[in-house]
């Protein structure tokens, strides 16, 4: 296939926040990067400094916007914010830790951990709804930039959907892959299909340390 028809995608989770470190669910709550998260964003930008990036898209939430701004700095690019790239809406569970959720609503905690695709966790968004929203947006972006390389800064739950779309895994399948803060993940889009090139490249973060292992599912909320 001609390279002019292929879109190269850098899909990146935002840098660490203090709530990541505390194991507290963020969802749509607008949390900024921690000092470590800001350093991670700087390291990410440096790691990609010599690569051509033709466009930068980001969730409109602050933690993603700050990460995207670091990547776009020094490039003739404006970060394009998208509500469709937001994290999953966790409803009444937002702001809580996994332990608090399990204590308050153990039945819902079990259903969430079981990854029931239609379950609206905390009364918020289901996995089916999240997947339709964010993979639909990734497809739209990829179609806009054939032959280009595009960076997309989003969230753990969103990247989980991207990974599943690229490798053909159902929403209910247990997660075994890592999605570390500010790690680099690479996809291709061609003929209406996503494929996986590389995942969770975090060599640029060596020495920084983190309390979050990137498993953005119970008991590791995003």
Query: Catalytic amino acids?
Result: 14, 87
The tokens for 185 are 């993940």
Contact 194, 162 (CB under 8 A): yes
DSSP character at residue 60: S
The tokens for 134 are 């964010």
Q: What Rg do the C-alpha atoms of the chain give, in angstroms?
A: 17
* Interatomic CA distance for residues 53 and 77, integer angstroms: 9
* Interatomic CA distance for residues 28 and 190, integer angstroms: 31
Nearest to 167 by CA among 148, 184, 188: 188
């Amino acid at each position: 296939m001609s390279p002019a028809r292929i879109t190269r995608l850098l899909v990146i989770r935002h840098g660490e926040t203090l709530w990541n470190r505390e194991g507290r669910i963020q969802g749509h709550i607008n949390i900024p990067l921690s000092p470590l998260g800001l350093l991670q964003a700087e390291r990410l930008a440096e790691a990609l400094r010599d690569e051509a990036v033709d466009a930068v898209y980001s969730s409109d939430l602050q933690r993603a916007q700050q990460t995207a701004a670091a990547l776009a700095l020094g490039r003739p690019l404006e970060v394009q914010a998208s509500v469709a790239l937001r994290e999953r809406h966790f409803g009444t569970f937002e702001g809580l830790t996994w332990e608090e959720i399990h204590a308050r609503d153990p039945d819902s905690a079990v259903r969430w951990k079981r990854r029931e695709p239609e379950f609206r966790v905390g009364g918020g968004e289901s996995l089916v709804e999240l997947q339709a929203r964010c993979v639909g947006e990734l497809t739209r972006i990829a179609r806009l930039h054939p032959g280009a390389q595009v960076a997309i800064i989003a969230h753990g739950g969103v990247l989980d959907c991207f990974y599943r779309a690229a490798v053909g895994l159902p929403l209910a399948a247990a997660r075994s892959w890592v999605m570390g803060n500010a790690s680099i993940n690479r996809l291709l889009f061609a003929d209406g299909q996503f494929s996986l090139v590389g995942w969770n490249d975090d060599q640029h973060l060596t020495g920084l340390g983190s309390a979050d292992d990137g498993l953005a599912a119970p008991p590791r909320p995003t």
